[in-house]
Structure 1
Amino acid sequence: MKVLLYFEGEKILAKSGIGRALDHQKRALSEVGIEYTLDSDCTDYDILHINTYGINSHNMVNKAKKMGKKVIYHAHSTEEDFRNSFIGSNQISPLVKKYLVSLYSKADYLITPTPYSKDLLEGYGITVPIVSISNGIDLDRFKHSVDKEEKFREYFNIKPEQKVIICVGLYFERKGIIDFVELAEKFPEYRFIWFGHTPMYSIPKAIRTIVKDEHPENVEFPGYIKGDIIEGAYSAADLFFFPSYEETEGIVILEALASKQQVLVRDIPVYQGWLVDKENCYMGKNNKEFTRLIEELVEKKIPDTSLAGYKVAKEKSIEHIGHELKDVYEKVLKNESIQNKEQIHQKN
């Protein structure tokens, strides 16, 4: 079995969750001994596993179909998580949905990160078989490291007594960036750091203004930072606060859980079945609840759930994901084998 992992615009999307999903797929397939290629000109593959949605992605699907190859579409995106993101996203989201449905419907199988996103896709009327498989997490990368934590503290000049709350995400309203800044105003004694970057020309003026100018002194937007500093931040911070309104999974949550960090998220449907309030994380519905929970969690007035959260991350380790992907690949190829036998039988 040989798989072509196709990822259009890899450099552009490298800083996003989808970009990290590709890295996880490569690791996962290596873990279970499945041969893969990233060469889009390759022709001796069995399955096209495609992650992106541009014109080249559309062409790759058509090319694979003409060659008689099996196509698995990794459905990272939905209309719901496209809204409240880029300039004009809400206006064109119905067209995006129509386009995604047309692409996804060409596949032999769909993989999507959570049961929630699976339900959304089925609600679009897509009849292609769909399975939910987490994007996975590299547990080794997020092992506790005193050295990484020290690099994080040095980079941001964090004093021993300072409390730090972090978030990781694109500069989207959907991600809860407005709430993050509003809540920071209520806690001037804490430092709030939002990691991540989105080109300013692509986001609405209101969000550009917040990131560039109109935010409290205790809020920082250092941009996209990778490696030891962000990995140290995950474990050294006092809280990972992710107020996103819509996700298909949220790889950054898995990264925080793998770092044994205390996690606070918005209570939204995507977490049903794997995150449980007061058990492996804390959840809030609005800024009033977040205000109370941030203070109680940072000051350790309520029980810590980080160890239970780490167990969630372990269940979604890259090795586990590799076996789940392998099962889908084998199922798709087995179905092809059955169809070929049926065709031979009909001819006879």
Structure 2
Amino acid sequence: MKILLYFEGQNVIGKSGIGRALSHQKRALASMGIEYTLDPKATDYDILHINTYGPKSLQLVRKAKRLGKKIVFHAHSTEEDFRNSFVGSNQLAPLFKKWLVALYRQADHLITPTPYSKKLLRSYGLEQPIAAISNGIDLKRYYPDGRKEAAFRKHFNLTEDQKVVICVGLFFERKGILDFVKIAEKMPEYTFIWFGDVPMLSIPGNIRRIVKKEHPENVLFPGYINGDLIEGAYSGADLFFFPSYEETEGIVVLEALASQQQVLLRNIPVYEGWLSDDENCYMGTNNQEFEELIHQLVNHRLPNLSMAGFRTAQEKSITQIGAELKSVYQAVLELPYDHQVYAKVTK
């Protein structure tokens, strides 16, 4: 078995969760001994596993069909998580949904990160088999490391007793960036750091202004940072606060859980079934609740749930994801080539 993994638009969305999902797929396949290629010109593969939805992705799908290859589409994106992101995203969302559906219908099998996103895809009228498989997490990479944590604090000139709240994500309203800044403004005694980046011209002007200059002094926007610094931030901060309104999974949440960090989330449907308030994380529904929870969590006035969260991350390790992907690939190869027939056989 040989897989062609394809990712279009690396320069635009390579720093997003989808970009990290591709990295995880490569490691997951390697852990299972599954051969793969990243070369879109290759023809000696059995399954095209495609992660993106641009015009080049469609071209490659059509080429794969002409070659008689099986197609697995990784449905990372939905209309719901496209809204409140780029400039004009809300106006384009209905068309975006139609485009996604047209693309996803080309596949013999769909993969999506969570039962929640699977439910959304079914609501679009998609009838192919759909597997809910987490994007996975590299546990070793995010394990707490004192050296990395010290490097993080030194880089940002943080004192040992300085309380730090972090978030990781693109500069999208959907991610809760406006709430993050509003809450930080009311809590000047804490340092709030939002890690992430996106081309500035692609986001609405109000968010662009906030990121560039119209934010409180206790809020930092250092851009996209990887390696030891971000890994040290995950475990070395006092709290990971992710107020996103919509996700298909949230790889950054998995990264925070793997870092054995306290996690505060907005209570949204995507977490149903794997994250629970007061069990392996904390959840809020509005800014007032978030402010109260942040105060309590950074001052250790609530039970520490970090190890329960870590156990959740362990269930989504790279090796486990590799086994689940292998199972899908084997099913795809063993069933008829016509995906309409395939859907009826496996539904």
Q: TM-score, normalised by structure 1?
A: 0.96
Equivalents in 2 of 1:48, 1:104: separation in Å? Answer: 13
Equivalents in 2 of 1:210, 1:12: separation in Å? Answer: 21
Is the contact made by 2:2 and 2:45 (CA closer than 8 Å) also made in structure 1? yes
- Residue 8 of structure 1, CA deviation: 1.0
Equivalents in 1 of 2:179, 2:94: separation in Å? Answer: 26
Equivalents in 2 of 1:149, 1:227: separation in Å? Answer: 12
What residue ranges of structure 1 are gaps of 5+ in the alignment? 340-348
Residue in 2 that maps onto 1:119: 119
2:293 is paired with a residue of what secondary structure?
A: helix
Equivalents in 1 of 2:283, 2:259: separation in Å? Answer: 19
Equivalents in 2 of 1:121, 1:334: separation in Å? Answer: 24
Matches within 5 A, 1:325-344: 325-336=325-336
Is the contact made by 2:116 and 2:248 (CA closer than 8 Å) also made in structure 1? yes
- Residue 11 of structure 1, CA deviation: 3.1
Equivalents in 1 of 2:161, 2:240: separation in Å? Answer: 18
Stretches of 4+ aligned residues off by more than 4 angstroms: none
Equivalents in 2 of 1:139, 1:92: separation in Å? Answer: 37
Residue in 2 that maps onto 1:183: 183
Worse overlay, 4-13 or 295-304? 4-13
Partner AA of 1:302 in structure 2: L
- Residue 337 of structure 1, CA deviation: 8.1
Matches within 5 A, 1:39-78: 39-78=39-78
Residue in 1 that maps onto 2:219: 219
Residue in 2 that maps onto 1:79: 79
2:217 is paired with a residue of what secondary structure?
A: coil
Equivalents in 1 of 2:328, 2:37: separation in Å? Answer: 18
- Residue 13 of structure 1, CA deviation: 2.1
Is the contact made by 2:152 and 2:230 (CA closer than 8 Å) also made in structure 1? yes
Residue in 1 that maps onto 2:14: 14
Partner AA of 1:29 in structure 2: L
Is the contact made by 2:70 and 2:337 (CA closer than 8 Å) also made in structure 1? no
| Equivalent residues, number | 339
Residue in 2 that maps onto 1:344: none
Matched, 1:251 2:251: yes
Residue in 1 that maps onto 2:268: 268
- Residue 186 of structure 1, CA deviation: 1.4
1:36 is paired with a residue of what secondary structure?
A: strand
Residue in 1 that maps onto 2:342: none
Provide closer, same or farther for how the CA distance between residues 337 and 102 of structure 1 changes in structure 2, counting only shifts above 3 A. closer
Equivalents in 2 of 1:78, 1:186: separation in Å? Answer: 34
1:194 is paired with a residue of what secondary structure?
A: strand
Alignment RMSD (CA, Å): 1.1
Worse overlay, 75-84 or 123-132? 123-132
Equivalents in 2 of 1:295, 1:220: separation in Å? Answer: 19
2:278 is paired with a residue of what secondary structure?
A: coil
Equivalents in 1 of 2:337, 2:182: separation in Å? Answer: 57
Equivalents in 2 of 1:183, 1:90: separation in Å? Answer: 25
Partner AA of 1:56 in structure 2: K
Matched, 1:102 2:107: no
Residue in 2 that maps onto 1:204: 204
- Residue 229 of structure 1, CA deviation: 0.3
Is the contact made by 2:71 and 2:109 (CA closer than 8 Å) also made in structure 1? yes
Provide closer, same or farther for how the CA distance between residues 101 and 337 of structure 1 changes in structure 2, counting only shifts above 3 A. closer
- Residue 336 of structure 1, CA deviation: 3.4
- Residue 338 of structure 1, CA deviation: 11
Worse overlay, 162-171 or 6-15? 6-15
Q: TM-score, normalised by structure 2?
A: 0.96
Residue in 2 that maps onto 1:32: 32
- Residue 172 of structure 1, CA deviation: 0.3
Partner AA of 2:102 in structure 1: S
Q: Share of identical aligned residues, percent?
A: 68
Equivalents in 2 of 1:110, 1:52: separation in Å? Answer: 13
Matches within 5 A, 1:290-309: 290-309=290-309
- Residue 228 of structure 1, CA deviation: 0.3
Equivalents in 2 of 1:306, 1:134: separation in Å? Answer: 20
Equivalents in 2 of 1:10, 1:3: separation in Å? Answer: 19
Task: Write out per-residue CA displacement over residues 79-105 of structure 1, whole angstroms, 9 at most, x where no aligned residue.
Answer: 000000000000010000000000000
Matched, 1:145 2:136: no
Partner AA of 1:45 in structure 2: Y
Residue in 2 that maps onto 1:343: none
- Residue 10 of structure 1, CA deviation: 2.0
Equivalents in 1 of 2:130, 2:143: separation in Å? Answer: 33
- Residue 242 of structure 1, CA deviation: 0.1
Higher relative contact order (CA 8 A, sep 6+): 2
Residue in 1 that maps onto 2:128: 128
Equivalents in 1 of 2:317, 2:112: separation in Å? Answer: 16
Residue in 2 that maps onto 1:342: none
Equivalents in 2 of 1:336, 1:26: separation in Å? Answer: 26
Task: Write out per-residue CA displacement over residues 289-317 of structure 1, whole angstroms, 9 at most, x where no aligned residue.
Answer: 10110001011111011000000100000
Equivalents in 2 of 1:104, 1:250: separation in Å? Answer: 21
1:336 is paired with a residue of what secondary structure?
A: coil
1:241 is paired with a residue of what secondary structure?
A: strand
